[in-house]
Chains A and B, each alone.
Chain A
Amino acid sequence: MILIHCPYCDEKRPEIEFANAGQAHIARPLDPSGQSDAEWETYLFIRANPRGRHHERWRHVHGCGRFFNAVRDTVTDKFETTYKAGEPRR
């Protein structure tokens, strides 16, 4: 089982305490009614799915309950870093 560092608790905890919440840094449209179908498609459905470095959200659901962001390699599953929500993309 992988260990994940929660940037709020500042502890490495087992994966079962966490819930993955998909790709990180996807901004909700500020003007929903002004979006085209293509823009909605990109926002709702298109995902990076890279083979390698991936930005994703996690939630420490059985801990502090907070969302944070992480950079992980999708081939080795190793975490490069985790950082608090709202901090710039690393």
Chain B
Amino acid sequence: MTRFSALSLFTKAFGGHQNWPAQWPDAAPKPAYDAIIVGGGGHGLGAAYYLAKKYGINNVAVLEKGWIGGGNTGRNTTIIRSNYLYDESAHLYDHAVKLWDGLSQELNYNIMYSKRGVMMLAHNVHDVQSLQRHINANRLNGVDNEWLTPEEAKAYCPPLNISPDARHPVLGAALQRRGGTARHDSVAWGYARAAAALGVDIIQNCAVTGIRRGADGAVEGVETTRGYIASKRVGVSAAGNTSVIMQMAGLDFPLESYPLQALVSEPIKPTFPCVVMSNTVHAYMSQSDKGELVIGAGTDQYVSYSQRGALHIVEHTLAAICEIFPIYRRMRMLRTWGGIVDVTPDRSPILGKTPVQGLYVNCGWGTGGFKATPGAGDLLAYTMAKDEPHRINAPFNLDRFRNGRLIDEAAAAAVAH
């Protein structure tokens, strides 16, 4: 692996950038591995990296049915924050935010983590009370979050319309300054490159078609479109397709998969300095380094694996964006797309062991998985290496739907994540 540095960039520039080696090999599957990760998104690649880096398991394969980072990792709106209400969630998401810090240096790969701040708007009295409750809960958990008056919000994000006769009046905002964005493709590539350097095989175009179990019920390996691969540890990190994979092991999961849409505008000069989210009117936006406004819309109302959503969902979001940020009314949208998100009944993830020995799961991140990428990868790796969950992900077990210890962020975080 060529180590990236100012010097390597400088030297290669003199050669016209012709001689950069492949960043990681496109591996073919071996007959057996110590651990297999199903799903080559940021979460899965992160898990493989941390298995090799922190937990001493290097003989690992990541199986991806398409190309790495081509699912929800490359389809989200790249928002990073940890201002969740409940203690369990705050610890989980803040574990990830702490790992985002310094990740570029650790991976020797620029993931462009930008702590530009995530501001959540309050449009009515309920929003004010709810966001202030979040701020108080967050600060008790050591997660930064602060209240801004409408004028302070406008100063932080000048395109904001705080006129009292606005369609969606701004009564205040909650600002998490450590929140921000990162370049999502780089996250997948950075983890893939760093994992491959530690011996992990990144295997693309390899869909899992079955899970083979022994007489005692424990996992023995997986059937794939590229043949059988043996492993006593299999971690599934397949987002919207998790239910399908779990069915192969005979497990029914409390998940439903929905298309979630996002869109980008034509690129313009920097005008929008932070991330703004409005859960009540369901719109959130930031500006990418390329200059596009990156806008998140909602989920469709029905279960689907189609990776595209209905136009009226996008229209609803754009109507809200035009009211909150009137200066963008005449902009044109360039692209829209959808990703399939797996949603749990309490809108919190499932991260831990399953009833099948040797089968681990990281799923249910719903509409907000990107922000958790390093944390989810680390905790899935820990759980697979030790065969028990870390105390941070222990509450996010599958048993909570039976014993009733739900972590009900559904009511706490409204819609947008």
Q: Which A residues lie at the B interface, using CB under 8 A?
A: 1-2, 15-16, 19-20, 22, 37-38, 40-42, 44-51, 54, 56, 72, 74-77
Q: Given A19-B301, A74-B303, A74-B304, does the pair A49, B255 have CB atoms closer than 8 Å? A: yes
* CB–CB A47/B255 < 8 A: yes
A72 and B302 CA atoms in complex are apart in Å by 10
Q: Which residues of chain B are within 8 angstroms of A50 by Cβ–Cβ distance?
A: 243-244
Contact B253 A46 (CB under 8 A): yes
Instruction: Please give, as numbers and ranges, the residues of chain A lying within 8 Å of B310 by CB-CB distance.
Output: 1-2, 15
Are A75's CB and B306's CB within 8 A? yes
A56:B402 contact, CB within 8 angstroms: no
The chain A residue with its CB closest to the CB of B308 is A77
Report how many A-B pairs have Cβ atoms within 8 Å. 60
Docked Cα-Cα span, A41 to B402, in Å, equals 5
Cβ contact within 8 Å between A51 and B244: yes
B306 touches A74 (CB 8 A): yes
**Alpha-carbon separation in the docked complex, A17 to B142 (Å):** 45
A49 touches B306 (CB 8 A): no
Q: How many B residues face the partner with a CB closer than 8 A?
A: 22
Query: How far is A62 from B291 in the complex, measured between Cα atoms in Å?
Result: 40
Docked Cα-Cα span, A19 to B255, in Å, equals 19
Which of B254, B301, B306, B311 interacts with A47 by CB under 8 Å? B254
Most buried by A among B254, B302, B311, B402: B302
B257 close to A (CB within 8 Å): yes
Measured CB to CB, the nearest residue on chain A to B252 is A46
Q: Are B304 and A77 in contact (CB under 8 A)?
A: yes
Task: Name the residue of chain B whose CB is nearest to the CB of A42.
Answer: B252
The 8 closest A-B pairs by CB, nearest first: A45-B254, A49-B243, A20-B301, A41-B402, A45-B401, A20-B302, A46-B252, A45-B345
Contact of A38 among B244, B312, B402 (CB under 8 A): B402
Contact A76 B306 (CB under 8 A): yes
Given A75-B306, A77-B304, A77-B306; A41-B401 close (CB under 8 Å): yes
Select A49's contact among B301, B303, B311, B402, beta carbons within 8 Å.
B303
Contacts of B302 in A (CB 8 A): 20, 56, 72, 77
